Structure 1
Amino acid sequence: MKSIVLVRHGKSSWEFDVSDRQRPLKQRGINDAQLVANEFIKSNKIPKHIFSSPANRALSTCKIFTKIFSLSENSISIEDSLYDFGGENVLRFIKALPNTYDDIMIFGHNYAFTSIANIFGDKFIENVPTSGLIKLKFDIANWQDLKQGTTELIIIPKELKQ
């Protein structure tokens, strides 16, 4: 069995004249990431392998999660291929993972995460919102054999605020 937790970066700010990769989180993005991370750890095992896009907004979201998980920032692997909006590079990355990795968490971007969640999960998701989390489970032994699995968990920040 394998599982993937996909976390879209928190809401980012357009207030600064910086490149796309350097855009920071807005306060709402920070707050939403904290809400989702706290909700996740209530009833889920923390994946042993955590990967992030190098984009500031994704890596900052990842650092919020690792802090709440009481993990060192050294537990984060930054992967350039996760700075991907279509999903092809993310899929190549997943399929190339060592088969000794059973549970992974990836911080990245849309449309890639919505696409992957819909292709490989069994629940349709219109759009993974900022700070949204999707957990997919697969009955496979090798990442290269990635196929449709089950959508085990969906955490939407807006739903935690109601």
Structure 2
Amino acid sequence: MKTLTLLRHAKSGWDDPVARDFDRPLNPKGQRAAQAIGRHMRALDLEFDHVAASPAARVVQTLEQIEAGYGGALAPAWDQRLYLASAATLLDIVRELPEGAGSALLVGHNPGLEDLVLLLAQDGPLVENVEEKFPTASLAELRFDVARWEDAAPATAELIRFVRPRDLDPSLGPDRG
């Protein structure tokens, strides 16, 4: 049995003048959302044997805020391939995860993360929520009945959890207006 958790970076700031998309920072709402998700991860007692993350600034800052809420370091392995990766690339990364890792966390970007959930998960009510939208700072947890990561395949996972920041605090939902 393997458990894969996917975390999309928190809301970034488009108002900051940066030369590259890679360098875009989180905005204040994104910081609050990431801390809320981190607290929720702690409340659920989520633990990870391996963490891989995009090195983009907004992912680095998301993890800093997640760790503040979670109350501990996640010690990610920074992987450039996760930056704006497609579902196919993400699946390659999943299949390369260390075999000793029973539970892994990937932190990255959309649309790749949403597409990966939809590729891997069997149908169900949580999948319908992902199909609607995989908002920033959302967390999706998939369980595979496999012994090796390399055996992860399309439509073989059960989506056991999908948490959006607005599920924890309505003020972290979409802006109105």
TM-score by length of 1: 0.92
Distance apart, 1:23 and its partner CA: 0.1
Aligned partner letter, 1:55: A
User: Which runs of 5 or more structure 2 residues have no equivalent in the other structure?
Assistant: 171-177
- Aligned match of 2:161: 153
Write out aligned runs for 1:1-40 (5 A).
Answer: 1-18=1-18, 19-40=20-41
| Cα deviation, residue 54, structure 1 | 0.7
CA contact (8 A) 1:4 1:103 kept: yes
3-state SS, counterpart of residue 25 of structure 1: coil
Structure 2 counterpart of 1:128, one-letter code? F
Distance in 2 between the 1:141 and 1:84 partners?
28
- Structure 2 CA distance for partners of 1:105 and 1:78, relative to 1, 3 Å: same
- Amino acid paired to 1:158: R
Per the alignment, do residues 64 and 85 of structure 1 end up closer, same or farther by CA in structure 2, a change over 3 Å counting? same
Contact 1:84–1:90 (CA<8 Å) still a contact in 2?
A: no
Q: Secondary structure at the match of 1:5?
A: strand
Q: Secondary structure at the match of 1:158?
A: helix
**How high is the TM-score relative to the length of structure 2?**
0.85
Task: Using the TM superposition, name which of 107-116 and 86-95 deviates more.
Answer: 86-95
Counterpart of 1:87?
87
Question: Partners in 2 of 1:40 and 1:97 — Cα distance?
Answer: 21
**Count of residue pairs the alignment pairs up:** 161
**1:60 partner SS:** helix
SS at match of 1:151: strand
**8 Å contact kept, 1:46–1:69:** no
**Farther off after superposition, 89-98 or 20-29:** 89-98
Which letter maps to 2:163?
I
Residue 87 of structure 1: CA displacement? 2.0
Paired amino acid for 1:66? E
Distance 1:25 1:89 in 2: 25
Partner of 1:133 in structure 2?
A: 139
Distance 1:131 1:7 in 2: 6
For the 8 Å contact 2:7–2:138, the answer to whether it is kept is yes
Q: Aligned-residue CA RMSD in angstroms?
A: 1.5
